[in-house]
Structure 1
């Protein structure tokens, strides 16, 4: 329903005759009625999610696995991250707050009463990978060696795939390097960091710790 504003009906002329007045047409403002907030039914939400799943099946969002994954040959380490904000790696410089994240120590936790071997630590890592689904991403171990694991994490709706690597460097230290990166896009809404944090929190229950806490 329209509402009428109430401006001044008369305005004064700018001529020298200040006593002369002219009438003006009142200004009318049309107000659009406010629409009530509609709550989306649960069934409609489910249908929208199904539509996204169908779109994800038609247009593949999985991307292609990068060919540079694995332990690098020139300088033994995991690959660095691209400039995009959807990757974290222990191989990055500590000053790179966007991409760097500290490695783990599987014998550094307070709950670890007796040091374990690398083989035992690998078994603990595999158990946590299989039992933990950060953000409901499904893990799939696609490559496993004595000192290296490659896992693909797939999102529940669009089938987006992230590549996560874990590497046990040679030496006496109980260190584990890792890299978590999205295949597509320029940013990840901190999905990779949240994933690594969720895994670390489960590993801490077994006696692991982040090197940043030393």
Structure 2
């Protein structure tokens, strides 16, 4: 009986970890910094190093608590969007495209000391998003400005 075609047990145990690492979305509740954008042009972020991917944070007017709650309500009203995680300082949601159901991740981080809300919006797959992530954030910005909670 040949053992050459046999996969070792440690390798079998390692395989799920490798698979999970390859499918990571790069999201999660940050404490001060958002995850970096990939080099592809399908991401915008307050913390992006690339000028083309940078987007201004939301500058809070008045109560930070009121602005944070209003942001949650506005995100919840976005079409095909589901809030996944929300804490007192972090919000993560998934947005699906209408035609193919591609998923974009949007994240917000309340930076109370700065009076801002940091932003990251990125496509999970593909190369270009045709500006969809930037447009979504600017639509949210306009809604929050009209509600009087950000400048």
* TM-score where L is the length of structure 1: 0.56
Pair 1:188–1:84, CA change in 2 (3 A):
same
Deviation of 1:132 after TM superposition, in Å, equals 3.2
Report the secondary structure of 2:122's partner residue: strand
Residue 106 of structure 1: which of 53, 60, 74 is its match? 60
Count of aligned positions: 128
| Larger Rg, first or second structure (1 or 2) | 1
Residue 122 of structure 2: which of 166, 181, 192 is its match? 181
5 Å matches for 1:13-24?
none
Deviation of 1:158 after TM superposition, in Å, equals 1.1
Q: In proportion to residue count, which structure has more helix?
A: 2
Report the secondary structure of 1:159's partner residue: coil
Deviation of 1:71 after TM superposition, in Å, equals 4.2
User: After TM superposition, where is structure 1 displaced by more than 6 Å over at least 4 residues in a row?
Assistant: none
* Alpha-carbon distance in structure 2 between the residues aligned to 1:199 and 1:130: 11
* Alpha-carbon distance in structure 2 between the residues aligned to 1:70 and 1:102: 20
Say yes or no: does 1:197 pair with 2:142. Answer: no
CA RMSD for the aligned pairs?
1.6
Q: Is the 8 A contact 1:71 1:79 kept in 2?
A: no
* TM-score where L is the length of structure 2: 0.78
> How far does the alpha carbon of each residue in 1:61-109 deviate from its partner, in whole angstroms, 9 at most, with x for none?
xxx551x313446xx211110100100100023xx332111111121xx
Pair 1:204–1:160, CA change in 2 (3 A):
same
Residue 70 of structure 1: which of 21, 28, 47 is its match? 28
Deviation of 1:127 after TM superposition, in Å, equals 1.4
> How far does the alpha carbon of each residue in 1:108-138 deviate from its partner, in whole angstroms, 9 at most, with x for none?
xxxxxxx22x2211111011112233xxxx1
User: Which segments of 5 or more consecutive residues in structure 1 lack a partner in the other structure?
Assistant: 1-63, 108-114, 210-214
Report the secondary structure of 1:123's partner residue: helix
User: Which segments of 5 or more consecutive residues in structure 2 lack a partner in the other structure?
Assistant: 1-22
Pair 1:125–1:167, CA change in 2 (3 A):
same
> Residue 73 of structure 2 aligns with which residue?
127
